[in-house]
Amino acid sequence: MSWRHIMITNNARLSVKRSQLVVQQEDTITIPMQDIASILIEAQAVTITANVLSACAEHKVSLFTCDSRKLPNGIWTGFHQHSRQLTVLEMQMALTKPFKKRVWKQIIQQKILNQAKCLDVMEKDGGKELSLLIKEVESGDATNREAVAAKLYFKHLFDSSFTRRSTDPTNRLLNYGYAIMRGLVARALANYGFTTCLGLYHDNQLNAFNLADDFMEVLRPIVDCHVAGQDVEKWDAEVRAGLVNLANTDILISGERHPITAAIDEMVKSFVASCRQQDYSYQKLPELLPAKVHQYE
């Protein structure tokens, strides 16, 4: 199982030798490809061989590229690496509307619960109000409790003038964190053979990652929680590394602690089960814990 996340912040040359990623800077370091979950390329003058891209697809690594403001703007995921691509696609196409709506309901309920937990962890008000909203979520979130919750939540978490649409530095941090989560979810979905443009709720024709956007909703509060405890004016490699490192923080899924990378895998695996059985009760979703980086002995 892959567990390593790599961030390239200085110029380097990346190549592959003996199934290992070779990073050439002052020193030459090798890392086994099979351990890597994601590579984020932030520096502008990084040379990368086609072999690396191919090995990334083969070993199911998601590779991010960044724009000149260092915000992730591209994800590389494997193309049709799953052995039963058509079976999964057919399964996805055959999902019924009620099923999708029920799963979406669960996602929104979990998202609001995580938002409430986030407020509690940050010792802000509003957790109770949000918890009350959870019961009101209808199938397919027909009454759009998600938006109501989000408005309440952001008001309490940051300040009342905060909006997601403005260009203040908080949003820059949030966007960065969300992009990482989205990439990790897209990676897991691609690993299980899903076609990510077919979403449950999201159905933007211009979006290749609708399904990833559905499942990353539950993970947003983790990023929010991290950003709320930070000096948002700062924007250096350390801050960005902190955001990437969120992938290693612990989260609860079906009662067990897992690093987020592994929890996303669990979530997608349970989605496969629930699709196969046409039973939404198989779906597992992660629950926010106070931030702590997962430790391997």
Partner 1 sequence: MRIMLFFDLPVKTKKQRRDYTRFRNYLLDEGFDMMQFSVYCRLCNGHESMERQLEKVKRNLPPKGSIRALPITEKQYERMRFLLGDKTKNEEKVTINQLTLF
65 in contact with partner 1 (CB under 8 A) = no
Question: From the CB of 129, what's the least distance to partner 1, in Å?
Answer: 35
For tokens 């990378």, name the residue: 261
165 in contact with partner 1 (CB under 8 A) = no
Question: Contacts with partner 1 in 107-146 (CB under 8 A)?
Answer: none
Would you list the DSSP string of 138-199?
Answer: PGGGTT-HHHHHHHHHHHHHS-TT--TTS--HHHHHHHHHHHHHHHHHHHHHHHTT--TTS-
Question: From the CB of 291, what's the least distance to partner 1, in Å?
Answer: 14
Question: Contacts with partner 1 in 226-285 (CB under 8 A)?
Answer: 237, 241, 244-245, 247-248, 259
45 in contact with partner 1 (CB under 8 A) = no
Would you list the DSSP string of 158-171?
Answer: S-TT--TTS--HHH
For tokens 């990439």, name the residue: 183
Question: From the CB of 92, what's the least distance to partner 1, in Å?
Answer: 30
Q: Which of 32/229 has CB closer to partner 1?
A: 32
Q: Which of 3/162 has CB closer to partner 1?
A: 3
Q: Which of 59/101 has CB closer to partner 1?
A: 59
Q: Which of 230/278 has CB closer to partner 1?
A: 230
CB of 250 closer than 8 Å to CB of 292: yes
Site string for partner 1, 1-40 (x = CB under 8 A): x-xxxxxxxx-x-----xxx--x-x-xxxxxxxxx-----
Exposure string for 35-47, b = 16+ CB within 10 A, e = fewer: ebbbbbbbeeebe
Phi/psi for 5 (5° steps) reads -115, 135
* 226 bridge partner residues: none
Question: From the CB of 40, what's the least distance to partner 1, in Å?
Answer: 10
With CA atoms as reference, report the closest residue to 121 among 295, 6, 286, 291: 291
Q: Would you tell me which residues interact with partner 1 (CB under 8 A)?
A: 1, 3-10, 12, 18-20, 23, 25, 27-35, 237, 241, 244-245, 247-248, 259, 293-294, 296-297
